[in-house]
Structure 1
Amino acid sequence: MTAETMRHVDHRPGGDADCLRLAEGPVPQPGPHDVLVRVAYAGINRPDVFQRSGSYPPPPDASPLLGLEIAGEIVALGAEVSGWKVGDQVCALTPGGGYAEYCVAPAEHCLPVPAGFSLLEAAALPETYFTVWSNVFDRAHLKAGETFLVHGGSSGIGLTAIQLAKQFGATVFTTVGNREKIEACQRAGADRVINYHEEDFVEVVAQATEGNGVDVILDMVGGDYIPRNVKSLAVEGRLVQIAFLKGARVELDAAPIMRKRLTFTGSTLRPRSRADKADIAKALQANVWPLLEQGLCRPVIHATFPLADAAEAHRLMESSQHIGKIMLEVAPK
């Protein structure tokens, strides 16, 4: 029997990390195509920080609570749900609401916990793997034999991108800011890790590729990285933008886009349709879940905080001192 009330992290009316506090409220009810999950663990992601601070409001039909990825046990099913049953352990991409003891998730955005994975590890998968697959492979069409550059290589997104790109046959470059992060990216499989405090990634890429440039760049930095990315792309190269940590406005010479026949694209995951996200989930289960179960890819978890310490988790995220994922322990079994 499901409880009627639950603990969750409240952030209203928003602000710095100190606004996060434990609260109690009603357990959400699944719609006809949803499942209700008793949450064991939830992931912390940059969009959570942006939402908390007021710069990234949730979609109108989403939970106002923070939290975009979870793992736990299904405790209730919507009337139209098939393929899942009460008691199944899943990880899920959620439209919100993950920082809570119970969370509603679209049934088609749930994936089985990979064989050999703990619920903690499974909760670290959805946001980063959905993001990397949809942008690097669906949007940029990275192929075996190509060269790939991901900025922020020690982040959850970065380490996921490095591992997947290597598994699918690419040569991988990445940028980070210190020796510890260099070593983490090397362990993940990066071929060349660039310390941006000591080297210019444009020069390193040019030298390593004999002036040809890389085929695909995944960038979450923006700002002055954008023209430098354009300079670093090969003919027919693809630049995919997924965030703008250094800002979205930039002066850009667009002539190389024409001359090198470049593609400059980007996306955000949360506003995409249920059908789009369902397609990504199917692709992940077919193409990536076997790699996880064979031990060829694995999330890197930097730290796990109790639900009551969500503010500390957010402060760590904002410090950028972490390597890999930051997690919340909600109600582990």
Structure 2
Amino acid sequence: MDKIAFLILSFSHKVLIEGKKRKKLKDIFASMGVGIFVEVIFILIIMSKSEVTSTGEFVHITHLTSNSEKLIGSCLKDVERDVNIPKLMQAVIVDTQTKKLVLSDNIPTPELRSQEVLKQNQKLNFTKKKKGVNRADLMQAAGKYPPPPGASEIIGLEISGVIVRVHKDCTHKEALKVGTKVMALLSGGGYAQYVSVHESCVVPLPHIKDTGYIHTNIFIFFLLNNILYIYTYTCMCTYISRKKKKNVYVYIKKKSEYDEWTVGAAIPEAFITAYQILFWYGKANGVNEGEEVGEEKTAVVDQNQAKSNKVVLIHAAASGVGTTLVQYCREFGLDAFVTVGSDDKKQFCIQLGAKGGVVFVCLFFFLRERRGGGINKDFNKALLEMYPKGANIVLDCVGQSYFKKNIDAIAEDGRWVVYGFLSGSVLENSTAFDMAFLLRKRITFIGTTLRVRSHQYKQLLIRNFQRDIIPLLESGKIKPIISKVFSIKHAQQAHDFVNASENVGKVLLLWQNKISHL
């Protein structure tokens, strides 16, 4: 009666997902965003007969994925000299009829302007966006966020790649030679085979030995009335995780790493934006100031100065910018309090270094019931319980739905930086809005967007970023969080994936084919 039953699932087996739909297991894993592709899924469930009608006693999952797909090695050899660049290139455009992203082969290759370099893309970066809200790439694809004057009409704000041509007027020719591996911050044009970018916005790829945290899905398997149920939730998997859910044990071991192109594509927009809003505007480092650029003074980051602005409220903290901000706070001695969209994202951020947080939406009924999650109390009340004086810095990409709660949560002399409007920019009941809190709490209220800034501004920002943050990247103290990599041919799927709020951190686009030169 104590016989042990072994159940081995292969990709050809059919299972019930939440008791509703039958799918092939390979299709299930393909839809869950577990990596470039699943190399091996081996599930071993051991149970005693007495427990068959309740739950499995032990679940052991070994989940291995391949390394990020390697780019053709000869590609770099091809660009060690100034090659003849084709007049037409591949780029992602919005189909005028379907309004979907498609890959076109007939887009004019950009011409170099003064002080620009031409780069051949290896990876393109796409910034994670919460479900149903407006980040730059999705907004531009929908026709709601046009590029600034003079910028490319093609979507994409950051890339990693190889320099294939340098304009004669460039002042940093020694550092930006043809064949140099670089990453860049763009005002547009990233979803293309080639992109021209001002030299001030180009950064050599950092030498990162540890390629970073890998975000993936954990699968919970259990038996109920002889039916196999599968649930998935997200976690950070650079370690072996052991969870217990009503006598169901889950073990995950994942081996995966990303190459330098992937890491480089995940850095510019998220890491530089996070640096700007936390240190330049949030003044998280104290009162030191450096060089002046127009109306902006740069912050000289000093870990010993991070004391007066110690508590940082980070909204949408599981995003690319958010996960970066949590790591900055951890490394510079700041307390990060986060708002996120699920219990799993909250735990992820806490593992990353956050001191506390609140879930504003719970997506999965099963997890809500069994994890004590649900829709949590107001974040302002939760934050004030931990920090009675409030948050010294509020980093807000949400907008109107959090506005009144931010007023409650922010401390006296606090700095409130708005860099996005995920819930909209128009305040509800705005006719009754009272601005007296700005005086009463002596609030500094700042709005910013990096895309439209001048080359001079970006140059100094990037230089300060290189000084203060690149060493932390190269030492492995902070790392880009990468959720999933899509082929450039599947750019629309990447948008859909992000719009569905299925990722934590960055989603990337990969050029998989070798680019030939004429």
What TM-score range do you get, normalising by the shorter chain? over 0.9
Is contact 1:2-1:75 (8 Å) kept? no
The structural deviation recorded for 1:13 is 4.0
Q: Give the alignment partner of residue 230 of structure 1, picking from 407, 422, 436.
A: 407
- Listed as ranges, the matches of 1:316-331 within 5 Å are 316-331=497-512
Distance, in Å, in 2 between the alignment partners of 1:332 and 1:202 is 49
The structural deviation recorded for 1:183 is 2.2
The amino acid of 1:27's aligned partner reads: T
The amino acid of 1:114's aligned partner reads: P
- 1:311 and 2:492 matched: yes
- Listed as ranges, the matches of 1:102-251 within 5 Å are 102-116=194-208, 118-143=260-285, 144-145=306-307, 146-196=310-360, 197-209=375-387, 211-250=388-427, 251=430
Rate the CA distance shift 1:223–1:306 in 2: closer, same or farther, 3 A. Answer: same
Distance, in Å, in 2 between the alignment partners of 1:37 and 1:100 is 10
Is contact 1:227-1:253 (8 Å) kept? no
Is contact 1:148-1:170 (8 Å) kept? yes
- 1:52 and 2:141 matched: yes
Distance, in Å, in 1 between the alignment partners of 2:101 and 2:122 is 23
The structural deviation recorded for 1:19 is 4.0
Is contact 2:103-2:488 (8 Å) kept? no
The amino acid of 2:379's aligned partner reads: F
- 1:26 and 2:108 matched: yes
- 1:227 aligns to what SS in structure 2? helix
- Listed as ranges, the matches of 1:82-121 within 5 Å are 82=172, 83-116=175-208, 118-121=260-263
Q: TM-score, normalised by structure 1?
A: 0.95
Is contact 1:40-1:332 (8 Å) kept? no
- 1:234 aligns to what SS in structure 2? strand
Aligned to 2:441: 260
The structural deviation recorded for 1:20 is 3.4
The structural deviation recorded for 1:214 is 0.7
For residues 150-195 of structure 1, the C-alpha deviation after alignment (integer angstroms, 9 at most, x for no partner) is 0001000100111112211111100112122112212221111211
Percent identical across equivalent pairs? 33
Aligned to 1:75: 164
Is contact 1:100-1:330 (8 Å) kept? no
Q: TM-score, normalised by structure 2?
A: 0.62
Unmatched 5+ stretches in structure 1 = none
The structural deviation recorded for 1:25 is 1.9
Q: Give the alignment partner of residue 10 of structure 1, picking from 68, 73, 93.
A: 93
Larger helix percent: 1
The structural deviation recorded for 1:148 is 0.3
Distance, in Å, in 2 between the alignment partners of 1:115 and 1:332 is 25
RMSD of aligned C-alpha atoms?
1.6
Is contact 1:41-1:331 (8 Å) kept? no
Distance, in Å, in 2 between the alignment partners of 1:15 and 1:58 is 21
Aligned to 2:293: none
The amino acid of 1:316's aligned partner reads: F
The structural deviation recorded for 1:253 is 2.8
Is contact 1:317-1:326 (8 Å) kept? yes
Distance, in Å, in 2 between the alignment partners of 1:234 and 1:280 is 27
Unmatched 5+ stretches in structure 2 = 1-82, 128-134, 212-259, 286-305, 361-374
Is contact 1:230-1:239 (8 Å) kept? no
The structural deviation recorded for 1:322 is 1.1
Rate the CA distance shift 1:19–1:72 in 2: closer, same or farther, 3 A. Answer: closer
- 2:400 aligns to what SS in structure 1? coil
